[in-house]
């Protein structure tokens, strides 16, 4: 029973390039969340998606960042024209809500993005 998968685990980009981070939720989970962890800080919510829908993107920067969760395939967090301040660990989590009154999220191992 595979957990949440993220790839790549480490990603190095130069300023101005694009970064694509992928997340495959746990089997049976249809809810995906992206969080960012800056060095020496806690996790900050970015976006919550269900299949083909963005439910809450209140934590997402208005420019350069986008996310999708297509009907088929993994969820993608895309960062265009990366800057050094984008260097962080990006974590994906998934959950399954049906029949549960609490929302337990299962986290992937994260993608560590370094912008040179």
Partner 1 sequence: GDSVTQMEGPVTLSEEAFLTINCTYTATGYPSLFWYVQYPGEGLQLLLKATKADDKGSNKGFEATYRKETTSFHLEKGSVQVSDSAVYFCALSPSISTGNQFYFGTGTSLTVIP
Binder among 43, 66, 68, 74 for partner 1 (CB under 8 A)? 43
Residue number, 63 or 102, with CB nearest to partner 1: 102
Asked if 56 touches partner 1 (CB under 8 A), the answer is yes
Asked if 74 touches partner 1 (CB under 8 A), the answer is no
- Tell me the window of 20-28, 63-71, 73-81, 97-105 that interacts with partner 1 (CB under 8 A): 97-105
Taking the CA atoms of residue 33, residue 39, residue 41 and residue 45 in that order, the dihedral angle to the nearest 10 degrees is -20
Decide if 77 contacts 23 (C-beta within 8 A). yes
Asked if 93 touches partner 1 (CB under 8 A), the answer is yes
Residues that bind partner 1 (CB under 8 A): 6, 31, 33, 35, 41-45, 48, 50, 55-56, 59, 91, 93, 95, 97, 100-110
């Amino acid at each position: 029973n595979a957990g949440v998968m993220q790839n790549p685990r480490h990603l190095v980009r130069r300023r101005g390039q694009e970064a694509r981070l992928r997340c495959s939720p746990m089997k049976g989970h249809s809810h995906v969340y992206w969080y960012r962890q800056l060095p020496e800080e806690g996790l900050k919510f970015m976006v919550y998606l269900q299949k083909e829908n963005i439910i809450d993107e209140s934590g997402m920067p208005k420019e350069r960042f986008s996310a999708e969760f297509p009907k088929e395939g993994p969820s993608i967090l895309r960062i265009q024209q990366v800057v050094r301040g984008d260097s962080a660990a990006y974590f994906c989590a998934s959950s399954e809500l049906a029949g549960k009154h609490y929302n337990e999220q299962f986290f992937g191992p994260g993608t560590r993005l370094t912008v040179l």
